[in-house]
A and B are shown apart, each in its own frame.
Chain A
Amino acid sequence: MNATDKGMAERGMGFGLRALNRLAGSDLLDRIRMRKQVERALFQTTKQGFRSATNANRTFKAATKLGRPARQPHARTTGQFDITPDDEQQMLQEAVGAFASEKVRPAALAADAACAAPTELLAQADELGVTILGVPEELGGVMPERSAITSVLVGEALAHGDMGIAFAALAPAAVATAISLWGDEEQEATYLPAFTSEDVPAAALALLEPRPLFDPLQLDTKARKDGDDWVLTGVKSLVPRAADCELFVVAAEAQDIGPALFIIESSTAGLSVESEPAMGLRAGATGRLLLEDVRVPAGALMSDGKREAYVECVERARIAWCSLAVGTAQAVLDYVIPYVNERTAFGEPISNRQAVAFAVSDIGIESDGMRLATYRAASRADHGEDFAREAAIARKLCADKGMQIGSDGVQLLGGHGFIKEHPVERWYRDLRAAGVMEGALLV
C-alpha cells in the first residue's frame, strides 16, 4: 500500500467510523431491540476492514486460440407473434424455478442480513449452467444461438426466489457474456475456459459510478494511453461480489476513443475494493472498486473500443435488470394473493374490499406489462434488430411500475409488511434497484 492509498484508506475508515459512532450512540437501536442484529450485520459487512486489496486471482492463460473470435449466431425468426418459450427454454425455466423456490427463497433472509449469498448456492447456480448461456458452443457454451430471451427467462425465474441472490449468481455470467460478445480470440481463449470450468470465478461487469444522474455514456473513470498500455483511474459503484472477484470488466472513458470496456484481472496493481452495502441487493455483496493508476496492456481493451459495442452492453444490461424486476414483481403478486385472502378485518377477508383487490389487479396488470416489454426487447436483440427503444422502455416500466409494486406489496400487508418476518420489505428495497443499476448483469 503506498502513501496515498494509506491516506485514503484512513480517511475512508474515518468516515465509516463517524457514521458508526452516530448509529451506536443512538438509543433508537435499543428501543427497537435491533442493536444485536445491527452489530452483527456491521461485523459481516466490515470484517475485511473498510477497504481491502482485491482478491488474488487464478492465472488466466490463453488456451487453444481460434483464428477469429467465436460468436453465437443470431436466432432465426419465424416471423410469427408468439409468447411461448421453446421446449429447451421451458425446461431451463422449470429447473431454475425449482431451484429458486426450494433453495434460493429459503436462503434469502439470511443472505440479505449477511450481505453475502451462500457459496454453495452460487455453485449450484453455476451447475445449472446460468453462467455460460452467452458462451459460444465451440468454446464450451451450451446455447447454439444467441438467446437474450433465455437469459431473461432465467433471470426472471431466479429473481422469483430472491433478487439479491440472483444478482450475485448472475454476475459472472455478465462477464462471460461480455467476453463472448465483444472479446477478441485472445480474450476469449484466455478468460472463457475459467467460466466453462467447474470452478466458475467470481467476476463483475462494472459500469456504475457513484454520482447523481449517472449516465453510462459519460464516465468519470478515465483510461489514458501510455505507450502500449492503458492506465485507468476512477471509482466503480455497487460492484457485485467485489471483494471475491477474480476478474473485472470495467467501463472507462478511453482517451481519444470514448466509453469502452477493459478486462482487468483482480491482482492488477492499483485495484482495491471497499464494501458498499446498499438499500437492497444485499446478497450481492456489493462493493466499490477503486482504480488508481491501474496499468493494463493494450489487449485489455474490448472490441477495439467500438462505441456500438459499449452502447449495446449498456442496453443488454438494462434488459437483464428488467428480467430480475419482473421475477421479483411476480414474487410480490404471488405472495400478496394468499395474504389478502386470508387476512381478515371487519369480519371478512380484506380482499373482499375493492381498495385492496384493485391494488392486486394493478400489480398483475403492470407486472405483465413489464414482462412483455422485457421479452420484446430481448427477442429483438436475439433477432439482430435494433432494440435501444425497447430496452429503454422496458427499463422505464420496470423502474416505475416495479417500484410501485414493491411499495404496494408492503402496503397490502400493512404493519406486517414492514417487518422482516415477511419478504415484502426486502422486495421493496430490491425493486428500487431496477431504475438505479447499470451494467453488472447482461443478457
Chain B
Amino acid sequence: MINLETPKKFRPLVSQANQVATEVFRPISRKYDVAEHEYPKELDMLASLIDGMNEGSDIGGAGAAGVRREDGDGDGKNRNGSNLSTVLGIIELCWGDVGLLLSMPRQGLGNSAIASVATAEQLEQYGGKWAAMAITEPEAGSDSASIRTTAELDGDEYVLNGEKIYVTSGERADLVVVWATLDRSKGRAAIKSFIVERSNPGMKLDRLEHKLGIRASDTAAFILEDCRVPKEALLGSPEVDVKQGFGGAMQTFDNTRPLVAAMAVGVARASLDETRMRLAEAGVEVDYSKPALSQHAAAARFLEMEADYEASHLLTLQAAWMADNGKPNSLQASMAKAKAGRTCVDVSLGCVELCGSLGYGENDLLEKWARDAKILDIFEGTQQIQLLIVARQLLGKTSAELK
C-alpha cells in the first residue's frame, strides 16, 4: 500500500533526534562556526549516549550502523529498515547542525565504509573507533579513479605514499580509511581502501582548511610518506579484478549518497522552518488552498522552495527505502543527491534573501545554513557527477561514451 509518511515505528527515533538537534546542536551551532578548528567537546557525551542507544536503536550520524544492503529474499513483504531510519535520523540532526553531525565521534564516513565492507575480523579490531575517509587528492577530486596515492606490498605490509586532502574529521578521528592504488596502470580496479591508524608516524597532518561552511567539522590534509600498514588493513578483496571495477570502494559511495541527500534535506528544512516563522511575524503566511500567484510574492516564493524541498525529501526516502528492500537504487540514490544538493543551496540562499538583514546577519543562523549548504552539493559526488550517473543509467551509456 502506497504511503509516504514517516513510518510509525521510527517516529520515536525521529523525535529523539529532533531533541538532540534542538537541545544539543542548535545552542552551540554559532559557537563552533566562529571557533573553527576547536573541538566541540559537548559532542563527547552525546556520542557516548548514542553508542549506548546504538545497541537497540539506529539513531546516529553518517555511518554508525553502516549501510549494508538488505538482501531481498523475494517474500514480497515491505521493509522499513536501517537505511530509512538512518536517513530519517540524519535529516533531524542536520536540521540542528550539519557541521556538528559531521563532527560526531565515531560517526565518520570511514565508519560507514568499515561497517559496510569490513570482514568480521576487521570489525572486531576496528569497531568502536572513529574513522575518517581520505579519497580526494590535490589533482583528483570527482575523478577518484585517477588518484595517485600508491600502495605497495612489502612482505606483510602495504607501504602507502601520496597526499590526501579534504579529510573530514581527519584530525580528530582514530582511524583514516585511505584510498590508494595497487597499480596505476590498471585504473579503477586497482584502487583499494586501507585502514590507517591516526597515530601512524607515516601519515602526517599537513594542515586544517579554513572553509565557507561546516566550520565545526575539521577538514584535514595529510602527507603519506612510506606509511606502513599491516596487510590485514586492506578493506575488501586484495584482488585486482578489472571486471569488478571499483568494487568495494565505490560500493560505499553508492550507499552513502542518500545519507548526504538527507543532510541536505535537513539543512533545507531548517532554513524553511525559520523563514516560515519570520515571514509569519511579518504578516505573510502561505495559504495552501489559494493559488500561489494570488498570494504575497514572498508566500509564492516560499511555496516554490517548499515544493523543491518536498521532492528532495521524498526522493531521499525513496532511495533509502529501496536499499532496505534490496532493490537496486543507484539511479534513485544519485537522483536524490542531485535534487537535494541543489535544492538545499537554492532554498537556504532564498531564505536569506526573504529574511533580509535578519537572514544575512550573524544574529540568526540562516546565513550559516546558506554557507553550510554549498558543500552538500559538492562532496560525495558533485551535482555534475550525479547528473552524469543519472544520465548514464537513463540513457544506457558507459562512462567512455558519456564523459
**A residues apposed to B, CB below 8 Å:** 75, 77-86, 89, 149, 213-215, 217, 311, 314-315, 333, 337, 340-341, 349, 351-352, 354, 357-358, 360-362, 364-366, 368-370, 372-373, 375-376, 378-380, 383, 385, 388-394, 396-397, 400-401
- Give the interface centre of B4, B303, B308 by most chain A CB atoms within 10 Å: B4
Decide if A365 touches B2 in the complex (CB within 8 Å).
Answer: no
Chain B positions within 8 Å of A361 at CB level: 338, 386-388, 390-391, 394
B289 is contacted by which of A314, A365, A373 (Cβ under 8 Å)?
A314
Give the docked Cα–Cα distance between A89 and B2 (Å): 10
**B250 CB, nearest partner CB in chain A, Å:** 19
Decide if A79 touches B7 in the complex (CB within 8 Å).
Answer: yes
Give the docked Cα–Cα distance between A118 and B122 (Å): 68
Given A372-B318, A373-B311, A396-B292, also A379-B391 (CB < 8 A): no
Decide if B311 touches A77 in the complex (CB within 8 Å).
Answer: no
Known contacts A83-B4, A85-B2, A89-B2, then 7 further A-B pairs from the complex at CB < 8 Å, ordered by chain A residue:
A78-B3, A79-B7, A80-B1, A80-B78, A369-B339, A372-B314, A400-B304
- Give the interface centre of B6, B314, B332 by most chain A CB atoms within 10 Å: B314
Given A357-B395, A391-B288, A392-B289, also A375-B390 (CB < 8 A): no
Decide if B291 touches A214 in the complex (CB within 8 Å).
Answer: yes
- Give the interface centre of A85, A349, A372, A388 by most chain B CB atoms within 10 Å: A372
**B residues apposed to A, CB below 8 Å:** 1-9, 78, 80, 84, 288-294, 303-304, 306-308, 310-312, 314-315, 317-318, 321, 331-332, 335, 338-339, 384, 386-388, 390-392, 394-397, 401-403
Closest chain B residue to A357, Cβ basis? B391
Total of A-B residue pairs, C-beta within 8 Å: 168
Chain B positions within 8 Å of A85 at CB level: 2
Decide if B291 touches A81 in the complex (CB within 8 Å).
Answer: no
A397 is contacted by which of B2, B307, B390 (Cβ under 8 Å)?
B307
**B393 CB, nearest partner CB in chain A, Å:** 8
Decide if B314 touches A362 in the complex (CB within 8 Å).
Answer: no
Chain B positions within 8 Å of A341 at CB level: 395-396
B5 is contacted by which of A89, A380, A391 (Cβ under 8 Å)?
A380
Chain A positions within 8 Å of B392 at CB level: 357
B339 is contacted by which of A83, A315, A365 (Cβ under 8 Å)?
A365
**A351 CB, nearest partner CB in chain B, Å:** 5
Decide if B4 touches A79 in the complex (CB within 8 Å).
Answer: no
Chain A positions within 8 Å of B290 at CB level: 215, 217
Decide if A372 touches B288 in the complex (CB within 8 Å).
Answer: no
Closest chain A residue to B400, Cβ basis? A352
A373 is contacted by which of B5, B307, B321, B332 (Cβ under 8 Å)?
B307
Decide if A393 touches B307 in the complex (CB within 8 Å).
Answer: yes
Decide if A351 touches B402 in the complex (CB within 8 Å).
Answer: yes
Chain A positions within 8 Å of B386 at CB level: 361
Chain B positions within 8 Å of A340 at CB level: 395
**A370 CB, nearest partner CB in chain B, Å:** 7
B321 is contacted by which of A77, A81, A369 (Cβ under 8 Å)?
A81
Chain A positions within 8 Å of B339 at CB level: 365-366, 369
Give the docked Cα–Cα distance between A89 and B401 (Å): 39
Give the docked Cα–Cα distance between A393 and B300 (Å): 11
Decide if B7 touches A369 in the complex (CB within 8 Å).
Answer: no
- Give the interface centre of A78, A365, A396 by most chain B CB atoms within 10 Å: A365
Chain A positions within 8 Å of B6 at CB level: 81
Decide if B288 touches A388 in the complex (CB within 8 Å).
Answer: yes
B3 is contacted by which of A80, A217, A311, A400 (Cβ under 8 Å)?
A80
Given A340-B395, A351-B397, also A383-B307 (CB < 8 A): no
